[in-house]
Amino acid sequence: MWQDPPTLPTKWLYDERGSKLFDEITRLPEYYPTRRETAILRARAAEIADATQAQVMVELGSGTSTKTRLLLDAFSAATPDAERFTYVPVDVSTEMLTTTADVLSADYPGIDVVPVVADFTEPDLRLPDADGPRLAVFLGGTIGNFDPDARRAFYQGLAKALSPGDFFLLGTDLVKDTGRLVAAYDDRAGVTADFNRNLIEVLRTGLDARGLYADDFEHIARWNPREHRIEMWLRARRDIDAYFEVLGRAWRLPAGTEIHTEISTKFEPDALRDELESAGLQVVTVWTDPAGDFALTLSRR
Ligand code: AVJ
């Protein structure tokens, strides 16, 4: 936060209120990624189950969502009666994992749910053993939040955690018309603006800040063509003179100062393939929706 320009950790966007706002974002008319990815999974889940023959699915970031269920439905249907399929949600939040495990165990009595508490961005990621192929999935386009170095480290860590013959399914948003991209991150209803400004609330309450108000910041979403990513910023509408009780530090921002809060990288399929293959993950199949907005890439270690 004391960098220039000031940068706040993206993960701070996802407190309870932030997570609810993101959920609202996924239903906005401008925000296409969730609907596109769901459509691809609906069309391809059975194919994914067939192509991988996986007995274990490890989901990075635990989910109880429609998307997770589409995959679990397909794998349940593909698993012979004598065998059991295992779902391994991986998350840093024990609370999230407990909810996921409870809800999915109740809904899928035929599936073993084995939660793992871990930060999957750490290089020492370890996955539960299995007799057959394992499938790691990372959905939602969340990889877009990682900068190129973090992506490389993540792919390498994952490739190390996987064994030869294991698979990786990755959801990525694709480069497209700039107007549509910007609209998806600057919606008319202002939900994304509230989501972004919520970071100020997180700071204010978490660090006991005086003189810091979300309304003093303007939401900015802009396309960075060089890095092919949407960048979210917060711009101070007036001079900010805040004081963090917890840190015993002042934070002064002249009007117009921009704080960087999130990147959402958009991918070109060829470049994505190169990144995965450099980490030792061979691309098997790329599926997109009919509009070509979003991609699911299946690779194999
Ligand atoms: C949850 C990271 C996939 O980058 O599209 C949506 C987050 N931020 N609108 C994305 C987000 C603003 C989202 N991901």
Res 156 pLDDT > 90: yes
211 and 251: one domain?
yes
pLDDT, tens digit, 9 for 90 and up, residues 37-56: 999 999 999 999 999 999 99
- The reply to whether 22 falls in a domain is no
Nearest CA to ligand 1 atom 9: 185
Nearest CA to ligand 1 atom 2: 142
- The reply to whether 189 falls in a domain is no
**Closest residue by Cα to residue 115 from 131, 123, 127, 106:** 127
Res 121 pLDDT > 90: no
Q: Which atom of ligand 1 is nearest to the CA of 144?
A: 4
- The reply to whether 117 falls in a domain is yes
- The reply to whether 69 falls in a domain is yes
Per-residue pLDDT band for 144 (boundaries 50, 70, 90) equals very high
207 and 229: one domain?
yes
93 and 199: one domain?
no
Res 5 pLDDT > 80: no
72 and 132: one domain?
yes
Res 1 pLDDT > 80: no
Distance 142 CA to ligand 1 centre (A): 7
290 and 224: one domain?
no
CATH number, domain containing residue 46? 3.40.50.150
C-beta separation of 266 from 230 below 8 A: yes
Q: pTM score > 0.80 for this model?
A: yes
Distance 28 CA to ligand 1 centre (A): 12
- The reply to whether 25 falls in a domain is no
pLDDT, tens digit, 9 for 90 and up, residues 257-295: 999 999 999 999 999 999 999 999 999 999 999 999 999
Max CA-CA distance within the chain? 67
150 and 49: one domain?
yes
Beginning with the edge strand found earlier in the chain, give each strand of the sheet holding 240-244 in spatial order. 209-210, 240-244, 249-253
Tell me, letter by letter, the H, E, C secondary structure of the chain.
Answer: CCCCCCECCHHHHHCHHHHHHHHHHCCCCCCCHHHHHHHHHHHHHHHHHHHHCCCEEEEECCCCCHHHHHHHHHHHHHCCCCCCEEEEEEECCHHHHHHHHHHHHHHCCCEEECCEECCCCCCCCCCCCCCCCEEEEECCCHHHHCCHHHHHHHHHHHHHHCCCCCEEEEEEEECCCHHHHHHHCCCCCCHHHHHHHHHHHHHHHHCCEECCCHHHEEEEEEEECCCCEEEEEEEECCCEEEEECCCCEEEEECCCCEEEEEEEECECHHHHHHHHHHCCCEEEEEEECCCCCEEEEEEEC
- The reply to whether 187 falls in a domain is no
Q: Does the beta carbon of 53 lie inside 6 Å of ligand 1?
A: no
Counted domains in the chain: 2
Domain holding 235, by residue range, is: 10-17+195-265
Q: Does the beta carbon of 192 lie inside 6 Å of ligand 1?
A: yes
Distance 42 CA to ligand 1 centre (A): 21
128 and 226: one domain?
no
Nearest CA to ligand 1 atom 10: 264
Distance 292 CA to ligand 1 centre (A): 18
ipTM of the complex in this document: 0.98
Q: Does the beta carbon of 264 lie inside 6 Å of ligand 1?
A: yes
**Probe residue for ligand 1, chosen from 142, 146, 188 as the CB with the greatest number of ligand atoms within 8 Å:** 142
Q: Does the beta carbon of 144 lie inside 6 Å of ligand 1?
A: yes
36 and 161: one domain?
yes
